[in-house]
Amino acid sequence: MNRIGRIALKSAAAAMVLAASGVPMGMARETAPADTGALVDLVNPLMGTDSSYRLSYGNTYPAISVPFGMNSWTPVTADDARTGWAYTYDAEKINGIKQTHQPSPWMNDYAAFSLFAETGELKVGQKERGSWFSHKAEEAHPYSYKVYLADYDVTAEVTPTDRAAQFRFTFPKAADAHILLDALPGGSMVKVDAANRRITGYVRNNHGGVPDNFHNYFVAEFDHDFTVTRTWDDNDQLTDDRTREGDHVGAVVSFATKAGETVHVKVASSFISPEQALRNLKSEIGSDDFDTTRAKAKAAWEKEFARIRVSDPDQQNRRTFYSALYRMLQFPREFFEKDASGKVIHYSPYDGKVHDGYLYTDNGFWDTWRAVFPFFALMYPERDSQIMQGLVNTYKEGGWLPEWASPGYRDVMIGSNSANLIADAYINGVRGFDAETLYEAMIKNATTSEGRPKDKRGNVVEAVGREGAEYYNRLGYVPYDVGINENAARTLEYATADFSISQMAKALGKTEDAKKYAQRALNYRTLYDTESGWIRGRNQDGSWETPFNPYKWGDAFTEGNALHYSWAVMQDPQGLINLMGGRKKFVDRLDSIFTTPPIFDDSYYGQTIHEIREMQIVDMGQYAHGNQPIQHMPYLYDWAGAPWKTQYHVRDIMAKLYAPTPDGYPGDEDNGQTSAWYAFSALGFYPVASATGQYAIGSPLFRDAVLQMPTGKTLRIVAQNNSPENVYVQSVTFNGKPHPKTFLTHDALEQGGTLTFVMGPKPNKQWGADPADAPFSLSAPAN
């Protein structure tokens, strides 16, 4: 069916998903009786799964895990194990439930294997064995997944721990019941141990970023004797061999079952050794039954969610909020384990050795520095500290900070954005890590051209440092005409990272470095073209890129155009206001983003990439919320004396582009970033610039939110008279005192108290309009 035909089915599909989650059809937006029950049960893990290569409504999969778990589990609907789109909402068949580590379909999976159950004639191939299923007979929670496999009359369930999981398969009466373990293509081994009712082995599938000795070792322990055991080879040929090794192998165990009989499988894995995989199984599951593991997983989510309780008559808003929070608390995932003494250890994908200490992976900092990591620093600093400790270990083991880790260095996206999340954590009080070592790593990144150095194993590393650093540090920009793509975007991102370095240097007492990098943070000015009024590519001799089309995606920019990237000056919005000719002209230009038709030039890509299409179809002009570079832009009105326009747009974006449904995101969810924008915005503020300790005020979505701050204090956010129509802030008080400023500070929020918004249907154009009320900028207002 074409896309238009599928859109006609959206409302029915959305109602069905909401009904399965406990909201009656046709009542999704009615007043909720009370905010009772487990918060985690408000989550819809299928939010964002109605996606494809051509158009993303999230590009997510139902990740069944515990928060930040080393492994997730997901049902598989794809016929090809090599595709990143393992589960899509419009699929008709399921052929496995796999252990996954995939951060996005564009990065694809690694260290994956799957389990599946059948009855009758054995079918091994991924496509051939697939069973019809219905979302009406599918139950997805963050802590468990259940589906009816109609072709085999089998119900399959899974529930997770950090490094293990329990499966429960409920069979009909069958003389031939089977459970398959598919080790998937990419290098694998399976061994059937009938005496101990186990299947063990390893998988090596990956898409880069791993040493030669990379393995994911697994153990699957059954509670049912095997009558028949077989393994299969790369060509799906079955034999009685107990051990099989190759590119793509698997194992199947068979037995007879009674009607309603359950077979349980306890599964664990390790990146360290087979012995460690068994240790993970014993320590995390042990003698627990399926329901006990499920209850523990549910409690793990509820513990994290309980830090933020939001109340609202619109239950759908609450469902969207907690579904977004669920996505934020998955990545970066743990990449560490515990040895026999309980000591934290990890296999390093950077040098192939086992080391002491924490390590995290599966994250693209180009996306997540913007709001995910600021959210961690505000609400989950103890986790943020572990992540920072992991970055110290990454630097020591690989010689560089990662910018995209999956599980090791991956050459994806641009910038040196690790500086932003490190500095933001430190400035906002996160401690317990070696800040001096990370500062050394930040400086190394800022002074070394990408792709030139070698790591400690002698391999060229193309995913570290700054490509064009020598040009940037000499000219103040990366030139358009020296063969470095996305040069203007790189310049802007380097300038933002330089600001973060300057803030970190200042906090560490490095005065000269602080001055130097604060000056470099103004390098965005070198690319501002006064004639066009946009950021523009510039040649090495100082001349401008010609011809210049501000609607051209890519080329000088990354997944965007000049209209998007010209606002990527988070560290100095006032400086941008000055360049554009003052507040009125700045506001007019911001307005134009929403009113200019969504015309585009996709010639750089040779096709209309999904990010372009997602901008085109939502009727918001040139505003492209489905991608990260412009997501902060609606908040820039706070700097220009028009915060009421921020209030209008952020509420409009939340209402139109987010929902707890399969098409509920405006584009790629991206490791929690698009979710973090919603979570922050729904609370009423957003971290435009890292390492400032400030949040720009927007328009709170909920009438009441209670945050248990890491300090032990309670912060309550009240929005009086709030409704879908009353989106405008009339006044703000904090602990009873008038708050005229358009920003909040980290220090004030963590001390708790009551933040009260009075909302109304019309703008209060006086509130926050004074230049003194604006958030931080490097530049002072022009005279």
Q: Which domains does the chain have, with CATH numbers?
A: 65-305 (2.70.98.10), 308-773 (1.20.1610.10)
Residues in the chain: 783
Find the angle CA(472)-CA(505)-CA(373) to the nearest 5 degrees.
85
The pLDDT value given to residue 456: 55
The pLDDT value given to residue 577: 98
The pLDDT value given to residue 465: 86
**Which residue in 114, 79, 112, 105 sits closest to 93, CA to CA?**
79
Name the residue with tokens 């907690």.
322
Q: What torsion do the CA atoms of 29, 35, 36, 40 make, to the nearest 10 degrees?
A: 70
Are the C-beta atoms of residues 578 and 771 closer than 8 Å to each other? no
- Enter the pTM of the model: 0.94
Positive or negative, the CA dihedral 660, 687, 71, 211 is positive
CA distance 623 to 638: 18
The pLDDT value given to residue 783: 62
CA distance 97 to 156: 9
CA distance 392 to 697: 33
The pLDDT value given to residue 455: 53
* Residue numbers in the chain where pLDDT is lower than 50: 1-34, 452-453
Q: What torsion do the CA atoms of 709, 711, 713, 714 make, to the nearest 10 degrees?
A: 0
Edge-first strand order for the sheet with 216-222 is 138-141, 144-149, 154-160, 164-170, 262-270, 216-222, 198-203, 188-193, 243-246
The pLDDT value given to residue 449: 75
The pLDDT value given to residue 460: 53
The pLDDT value given to residue 463: 73
